[in-house]
């Protein structure tokens, strides 16, 4: 919780304590009642908030662990490679570093997102190494290069 949130909660506690304070002819007695109520209401509010946070924290941790397992199993959803001022993002699993010829070709064609198909080349060597996401572009390793 940041300082702004603490300040807002404290203001709410002060308003509640003020509404609950019985007014009397004796100003000091009224202030004493208000002070006791303010401390009590503030503690109750913060205790309630902390209890809620403690209930939520395990769920957040569990969700983070599930996401880690999904990424380990299926690969990260995206990863990027940058050359100068141009970035290429791989959608799905990336199979090794992106070759410089791909980044240059993507920059030339204005393609910023690709699928990495290099893991499927053994089954189908004619398959493009990379396929543009949402565009009709495919990329094979330039002839004369052998870098598998």
Output the pTM of the full model.
Answer: 0.44
- pLDDT: is 144 or 132 the higher one? 132
Q: Residue 96: how many CA atoms within 13 Å on its side-chain side?
A: 10
C-alpha closest to that of 142 among 103, 102, 113, 108: 102
C-alpha closest to that of 17 among 30, 28, 26, 27: 30
Q: How many Cβ atoms from other residues are within 10 Å of residue 39's Cβ?
A: 12
pLDDT tens track for 50-66:
888 887 777 777 777 77
pLDDT tens track for 9-25:
999 999 999 999 998 88
Strand 113-116 and strand 86-91: the pairing is parallel
Band of pLDDT at residue 78, cut at 50, 70 and 90: low
The strand pairing partners of 130, in sequence order, are: 116, 139
pLDDT tens track for 85-110:
788 888 888 888 889 899 989 999 99
């Amino acid at each position: 919780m940041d300082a702004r949130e603490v300040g807002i909660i404290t203001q709410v506690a002060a308003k509640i304590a003020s509404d609950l304070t019985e007014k009397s002819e004796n100003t000091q007695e009224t202030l004493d009642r208000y002070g006791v109520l303010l401390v009590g209401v503030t503690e109750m509010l913060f205790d309630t908030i902390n209890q809620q946070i403690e209930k939520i924290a395990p769920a957040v941790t569990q969700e983070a662990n599930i996401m880690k397992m999904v990424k380990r199993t299926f690969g990260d959803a995206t990863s990027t490679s940058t050359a100068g001022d141009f970035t290429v993002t791989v959608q799905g699993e990336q199979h090794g570093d992106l070759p410089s010829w791909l980044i240059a070709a993507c920059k030339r064609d204005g393609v910023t997102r690709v699928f990495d198909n290099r893991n499927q080349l053994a089954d189908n060597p004619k398959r493009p190494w990379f396929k543009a996401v949402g565009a009709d572009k495919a990329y094979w390793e330039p002839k004369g290069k052998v870098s598998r």
